[in-house]
Amino acid sequence: MKRWILISGSVCLIFGIALAKGKNMSHEKKDLKNRLTPLQYRVTQQEGTEPPFKNEYWDNKRAGIYVDIVDGTPLFSSTDKFKSGTGWPSFTRPIDEKNITSHSDSSLWMTRTEIRSKKADSHLGHVFDDGPPPTGLRYCMNSASLRFVPVEDLSKEGYGRYLSLFKDVAAGEKPSVKSETPKTAYAVFAGGCFWCMEKPFEELDGVRAVVSGYTGGKEKNPDYQQVSSGRTGHAEAVRIEYDPSKISYRKLLDVFWMQIDPTTPDAQFVDHGPQYRSAVFYMSREEKNLAEETRDALEKSGRYGGKKIVTEISPASGFYPAEDYHQDYYKKNPLRYKFYRRGSGRDQYLRKIWGDK
């Protein structure tokens, strides 16, 4: 009987502690909701992502440090900030690696490394290995996760120990923001059947890999049968990994336009349905501008007999690699591939529009 009472008492105590912790967590979340803006809360607490180029610090050039919006922990310095062209504030390293944690994240079209603040556990962004020297890393952060403290306010706000990072500023020199070309970049294009879109890009110097997949819809991890139904919103597409120091995004766009019929909505040659629409999925404002610029130039050229170009130009979203048997189909099944290209009418159309280019 005593043993039963002891066990029951222990269970009640444990349950009570857990309940108290749950209530405390609930109060903390409620306090954060009251203290943060809706965007700050969504990003830091729900792993959200703010839009590129439409956030507070992506182009901030002032000297100072960036601290956790939740608890003020110092995270990054303007001395390590550089222009990445992505539309988000980017850094080569944190102020102190002890202030952050890293976690594997497979939620989108590639496995990424998520970065969180250690103490407050705020979602900050992701780190990539395409940054400039000296680290070769790009810490791509959300402005909504950060608060900027200018160098002139460091002592006043209790961050005086970081003044040593800004000796040049103290001497009256204006700190420079580095501008480096990333070592790896990605482009995503849809041009109907992805079998026919891999080869033209894989043949280009500077292209490292081309992956067939699905993008542009809301269904997570779709398979071919789902996408081919036309009900997922996804399009068959290719993701191109390339070295921007060897080949430009503009060149990739030029090749893209020469593979498709941009005047047919929700179709490419013999294949019909929204899953076969042509599209450019841009990852930055610069890519969007280039896509629109090249589209408009083509439309004015008269090459398409006055027809309107209807190719979709939309922000990139989750990209889901297609099944293995779709990858490098032109290499694995050369005869079927050639038969399909001829039978679809693609080659005949492209020859008519572009000649033997």
Task: Please name which of 270, 267, 289 lies closest in space to residue 280, comparing C-alpha atoms.
Answer: 289
pLDDT per residue as tens digits for the range 134-175: 788 899 999 999 999 999 999 999 999 999 888 755 444 444
Residues 149 and 132 in one domain: yes
In a domain? residue 8 = no
Interatomic CA distance for residues 219 and 152, integer angstroms:
48
Poorest-pLDDT segment among 65-79, 86-100, 176-190:
176-190
Average pLDDT rounded to a whole number, residues 290-304: 94
CB 111 within 8 A of CB 99: no
How many residues appear in the chain?
357
Amino acid 284: pLDDT: 83
Report the CATH number at residue 272. 3.30.1060.10
In a domain? residue 15 = no
Residues 327 and 201 in one domain: yes
Residues 166 and 205 in one domain: no
Dihedral angle of Cα 296, 302, 306, 311, to the nearest 10 degrees: -40
pLDDT per residue as tens digits for the range 7-34: 444 444 444 544 444 445 455 777 888 8
The yes-or-no verdict on residue 252 having pLDDT over 90 is yes
Q: Percentage of residues in the chain with pLDDT exceeding 90?
A: 70
Residues 166 and 202 in one domain: no
Beta strands in the chain, from DSSP E residues, in sequence order: 64-68, 74-77, 81-83, 90-91, 100-105, 112-117, 123-128, 138-141, 146-150, 178-179, 185-191, 207-215, 235-242, 267-268, 271-272, 278-282, 312-315, 319-321
| Annotated active-site residue in 146, 193, 247, 309 | 193
In a domain? residue 145 = yes
Residues 221 and 303 in one domain: yes
Residues 206 and 98 in one domain: no
Which is higher by pLDDT, 248 or 316? 248
The yes-or-no verdict on residue 5 having pLDDT over 60 is no
In a domain? residue 36 = no
Amino acid 353: pLDDT: 94
Average pLDDT rounded to a whole number, residues 104-130: 87
Amino acid 23: pLDDT: 47
Average pLDDT rounded to a whole number, residues 117-128: 94
pLDDT per residue as tens digits for the range 198-238: 999 999 999 999 999 999 998 888 999 999 999 999 999 99
In a domain? residue 204 = yes
Q: Which of 179, 206, 239 is the last residue of a domain?
A: 179
Q: Which of 138, 155, 179 is the last residue of a domain?
A: 179
> Measured in whole angstroms, how far is the alpha carbon of residue 107 from the centre of its chain?
11
Domain range for 109: 46-179
Residues 169 and 191 in one domain: no
Amino acid 104: pLDDT: 85
Residues 310 and 275 in one domain: yes
Amino acid 132: pLDDT: 81
In a domain? residue 24 = no
Token pair for residue 25?
Answer: 């967590």
CB 234 within 8 A of CB 216: yes
Amino acid 3: pLDDT: 42
In a domain? residue 251 = yes
Amino acid 260: pLDDT: 97
| Annotated active-site residue in 120, 140, 207, 309 | 140
> Measured in whole angstroms, how far is the alpha carbon of residue 224 from the centre of its chain?
23
Token pair for residue 233?
Answer: 């919103």
Number of domains in the chain: 2
Amino acid 40: pLDDT: 94
Report the CATH number at residue 136. 2.170.150.20
Q: Percentage of residues in the chain with pLDDT exceeding 70?
A: 87
List, as one string, the DSSP characters of 190-207. Answer: EESSTHHHHHHHHTSTTE
Q: Which of 153, 179, 205 is the last residue of a domain?
A: 179
CB atoms within 10 A of CB 78: 23
Residues 172 and 81 in one domain: yes
Has 12 been annotated as catalytic? Answer: no
Residues 346 and 225 in one domain: yes
- State pTM to two decimals: 0.55
Residues 291 and 223 in one domain: yes
Residues 257 and 340 in one domain: yes
Amino acid 168: pLDDT: 56
pLDDT per residue as tens digits for the range 42-57: 999 999 999 999 999 9
Amino acid 8: pLDDT: 47
In a domain? residue 111 = yes
Whole-number Cα distances in Å, 249 to 83, 84, 184, 200, 246: 17, 15, 12, 15, 10
Task: Please name which of 238, 242, 116 lies closest in space to residue 185, comparing C-alpha atoms.
Answer: 242
Average pLDDT value over all residues in the chain? 87
The yes-or-no verdict on residue 318 having pLDDT over 90 is no
Amino acid 199: pLDDT: 96
